[in-house]
Structure 1
């Protein structure tokens, strides 16, 4: 149940028992005036039911608490403690006056997060950021000048691929404005580095726990199935404790753990015919489903002598996480969600989040179209790394008069006295485009 009675407070109306008034220039007072609380409440109510239950906390209290937590980098418990001690934070979450008691229990933060999915956060973010960005576009941005045509005798391919030759085939009614900076990264998940041997050992231990629960639920005095857990543990440690075990030893250990796990899963199938799996805790039943799929994947890779399979499970507790191939020197493979963002005048917009790997270069056209939908115009230039510079993207940018950063596709041009100055200017422009792209790296950091 929800009561629509929350109104935007004036900082002068906020009651302070020890006298005085809130400062108008305080960051939380100013921030409260920038958030569309009506939209926040509209999205918040969609996750509630009005036919039964106690009244829920206000939308402002829920969203404001989440914003305080993320902005200050606090835990749920520390967030509630800071709100209890700070009158400005209490004003920010919509209280009528300062109070010494905690406005809610820290466990409520879990439900607040569930009531604001990523789609709702994106709508609120757009509502906050779009208006000021549009004002900046009108005041500061000037369309970029195209480069001079290529020198005589240069191949037409270079002229086609060059970013500066992207003249619109049909002039737009509104000139392009602004710089769109796009990039993608992998957000690391909080999981241990997955190895096949460690995953199989964890799966075996959970399977043994499931066998213990199912056997204890049987009414007869049947003998408990043998699991060889001590022997399996000993053989696992014999390899896991080695600093640099060889490939043959690792493969042999994986085969042993696969056979131990196969025996345990067979015992679980037999016990499930006598005892319902409903006796398992929900979390453990979920783990059983994950372990079954993990065994299938590991067995397939073991038999085929490969180290790759589709939708590979790298964590039993978080089976949705996938390995993301990055190709970097520091971390060739990362584990977590891949996120694609765009940066416009300091405002960051989340374009896509996916647990599965994707080619961010194919997302550029959609990013530009969302820019057009948000701000009413196409960007004057797009700044991205080389993975975005495909022929389809270049063709699209030429059609709409958008400059796409980066060097031309194909072989470098031959330097001649006629084109020396033009190539020098092009290199300077490419360097400037790379400098303009630097701010997006700070957003990831």
Structure 2
């Protein structure tokens, strides 16, 4: 059932309002006034087609929690726990009086993300762009010049090794067989974990011949369990359980068949879509996750587009989609885009793209603007250190898409809050200077001495 609109609450004799408890000059209070919360109540209500059941949580509460979560790098559980303790968080999410209990279960945020999808989180990013314009962080013309780059958003998986993956596949198959009531000839519950650890020790000691021999034996254990379950698959009466076992058999078979030089390898059993991406970093040669395209304004570094690109595509092939998203979210087509050399051969005609190292047709002003292309690198670094871009714990390609856009929302929120803090500091400094100037004025003479003078 769709959420019900909240009626204005009357004054309470025993409870003061939040506006009487907090400092109304706080940046979160000012930011709450800049965001169009009614938009979420109108648009997100369309995701609830059923008219029965309990009314859903307030859209403003969910949108506010998602903003706060990615602005302050909090998990679902942490942002709900901090909401109970912080009156500014509660005012930002639309509460009138201070609340002493959890507003919702943390798992509700997962359900809301699945329900609103990628379109819903892009609306969240659009509202941060509008709030940035109203706050003065960016102007209407800021979007005409953008910087586009890609980075890797790593997935929350263990470092993939053949031994670990084979042992995990065997354990998952044995667990499904026990759930289905199948009796295996041998589960290798004692031999396989010991052999998996031995493979790592052989690799550390650089005894690669022994390592490869132990790894072949470990794959043999997994293959025997797999074939034993295949032979008994017809005895499973539950259709849903049979489908799960067949999917797991297909995944484990793909793992056992893959070779070191194959493309589209399997790096995680619970996340088969994970890609192995090499960005040429000295400290991290390979990263396991998905590629994310980031578009920021040229001068301010404000995020105006963010999208995950599954399948590890060539950077030049992602530029068209990134510019289309910027045009959709900002309702303005960028006139100039500044990119690095990885975007050569992009084929974009609607926007003038300038590539690092380009010399033909460059003016002194364009050279100066192109040198600023590297300003997007610290923006990405802040989204990974101050935000949650460094690691995605949401499941599947949909989780990657949602997490990437929400990380862009968090970065914009942090920039707006910093801008509002600076404005308050400037106003206070101006007031202090004015008061000091008044105090320093010479006092007029008065009384008998003034009359005598």
Do they superpose with TM above 0.5?
yes
Verify: 1:289 aligned to 2:238, yes or no: no
Gaps of 5+ in 1: 142-176, 414-421
Aligned to 1:362: 317
Q: Quick one: structure 1 residues 42 and 291, their matched pair in 2 at CA, closer, same or farther if it must change by over 3 Å?
A: farther
Aligned to 1:244: 205
Instruction: Tell me if the contact between 1:406 and 1:433 (Cα under 8 Å) persists in the aligned partners.
Output: no
- Alpha-carbon distance in 1 for matches of 2:82, 2:376: 37
- Alpha-carbon distance in 2 for matches of 1:391, 1:85: 49
Instruction: Tell me if the contact between 1:324 and 1:333 (Cα under 8 Å) persists in the aligned partners.
Output: yes
Instruction: Report Cα offsets for 1:195-231 as digits up to 9, x if no partner.
Output: 12221111112222333333xx36xxxx752234433
1:265 Cα shift? 1.3
- Alpha-carbon distance in 1 for matches of 2:14, 2:24: 15
Aligned residues: 378
Q: Quick one: structure 1 residues 380 and 317, their matched pair in 2 at CA, closer, same or farther if it must change by over 3 Å?
A: closer
- Alpha-carbon distance in 1 for matches of 2:160, 2:23: 51
TM-score normalised per structure 2: 0.71
Verify: 1:264 aligned to 2:225, yes or no: yes
Instruction: Tell me if the contact between 1:184 and 1:340 (Cα under 8 Å) persists in the aligned partners.
Output: yes
Q: Quick one: structure 1 residues 424 and 40, their matched pair in 2 at CA, closer, same or farther if it must change by over 3 Å?
A: closer
Q: Quick one: structure 1 residues 366 and 114, their matched pair in 2 at CA, closer, same or farther if it must change by over 3 Å?
A: closer
Aligned to 2:285: 332
Instruction: Tell me if the contact between 1:2 and 1:45 (Cα under 8 Å) persists in the aligned partners.
Output: yes
Match of 1:298 among 249, 256, 268: 256
Aligned to 1:114: 114
Instruction: Tell me if the contact between 2:279 and 2:286 (Cα under 8 Å) persists in the aligned partners.
Output: yes
Instruction: Tell me if the contact between 1:371 and 1:378 (Cα under 8 Å) persists in the aligned partners.
Output: yes
Instruction: Tell me if the contact between 1:180 and 1:342 (Cα under 8 Å) persists in the aligned partners.
Output: yes
Verify: 1:227 aligned to 2:187, yes or no: yes
Larger displacement relative to structure 2 (30-39 or 179-188): 30-39
Q: In the TM superposition, what are the counterparts of 1:17-28 in structure 2 within 5 Å? A: 17-18=15-16, 20=20, 22-28=22-28
- Alpha-carbon distance in 1 for matches of 2:195, 2:220: 12
Larger displacement relative to structure 2 (427-436 or 108-117): 427-436
Q: Quick one: structure 1 residues 431 and 321, their matched pair in 2 at CA, closer, same or farther if it must change by over 3 Å?
A: closer
Q: Quick one: structure 1 residues 68 and 298, their matched pair in 2 at CA, closer, same or farther if it must change by over 3 Å?
A: same
Higher-helix-fraction structure = 2
Aligned to 2:99: 99
Aligned to 1:432: 371
Aligned to 2:425: none
Q: Quick one: structure 1 residues 27 and 202, their matched pair in 2 at CA, closer, same or farther if it must change by over 3 Å?
A: same
1:340 Cα shift? 0.3
Match of 2:371, SS state, is: helix
1:129 Cα shift? 0.6
